[in-house]
Amino acid sequence: MRQFGAAVKHKNYDTIMVNDDFIIKPIDGFGDRETILQTLAIEKPDVLLLFTDPRFFIWLFEMEDEIHQVCPIAYWHVWDNYPAPTFNKPLYDATDLINCHSYLTYEIVSKMAPGRTNFIPHALPPDLFYPLDKNLKHRHKVEILGEPRRDHFVLFWVNRNARRKRPNDLLWAWSLFMKDLKEKHGRNNASLLLHTDPNDQEGPNLLGVVDKLGISESVIFSNERVDFDRMNILHNISDACVNISYAEGFGLPTLEAMQCGVPIIAAKTGGLTRQVVDHRDGSENGVALDIDFRSLVGSQQVPFIYEDYCDTQNIANAIMKLYEMPTKEREALGQKTRDYVLSEFNYQHTIDRWHETLSELVESWKSQRTRRWSFNEVIK
């Protein structure tokens, strides 16, 4: 595998050899025409594989005829919402294999690119996120949150502080929940743990919002970069994980939480729907939030797409539902979520399906090229 490591800017542009079969070359942005042409000429790849928003690859789709002289184009694709992006049809037509990592994307794209579209869900290695021993969870909880929060209900939010993730609305919903908790139960034994940068320039000043809403005593920020082991611990010390983004192609943090045996609260939008709702029987892996308001937005490049919003009081009610759930019942729900992930977002299955679809693509491409360039002798 030869991979271009995309970034706005890199500190180091040395090519990295992970092993003999996996080499990463750092590049600015998402590449350019000359880089691709040079790579095609030197490496002669079996497949060119793309991954991210198609807007970043318009220039590449425009040179698909040159790429197709060497190899097929495969695309690991996600699209956030309906209406079906008919403006993407020329891009799909230029692609030989489209593997979708959310079922919603598959539903949308398979109608526009039949026979070339598959649903292969996102998946995580089983040894990356997993439940910890109860005593270990308790110890980590006190270590991270402090002794006074030992018995608190903990809601976890893992996202970038950006408008699409609705951080202010989450804080608003949390303030409503804390008010209801005080009025209904006379308690304040709940904490909201946010793994994000409260000062991110892409989002609001969350410290200011927390202060304005009067919830500083119940909100904790985790704003340092952490490794997988630490993230696994943060999920394990939580009682639920929440995601209320108005546009969410997939939503990895909720999948991580479920694999740790933690119930989730999620909006029924994009890739979150198939996580929070068990597609086999319609049961919920926590609390599935109905969409209360839908807005049709767009831009010059993406003329139309829906944004899905949940009402803040309904979010607060969902938090209360899990708070009031007996511990044993919530633990059983957590086990259900973990079993669901290990079955429907199975890591080995995802690997196998990628292997199968890419192998079939390469074999089909070679067969077609053989037929495409066959010659018949012409006798005068």
**The predicted structure's pLDDT at residue 370:** 57
Which domains are seen in the chain, by residue range? Answer: 32-121 (no CATH), 134-333 (3.40.50.2000)
Dihedral angle sign, alpha carbons of residues 37, 38, 41, 47: negative
| pLDDT tens, the chain, 380 aa long | 888 888 888 888 888 888 888 888 888 888 889 999 999 999 999 999 999 888 899 999 999 999 999 999 999 999 999 999 999 999 999 999 999 999 999 999 999 999 999 999 999 999 999 999 999 999 999 999 999 999 999 999 999 999 999 999 999 999 999 999 999 999 999 999 999 999 999 999 999 999 999 999 999 999 999 999 999 999 999 999 999 999 999 999 999 999 999 999 999 999 999 999 999 999 999 999 999 999 999 999 999 999 999 999 999 999 999 999 999 999 999 999 999 999 999 999 999 999 999 999 999 998 887 544 444 555 55
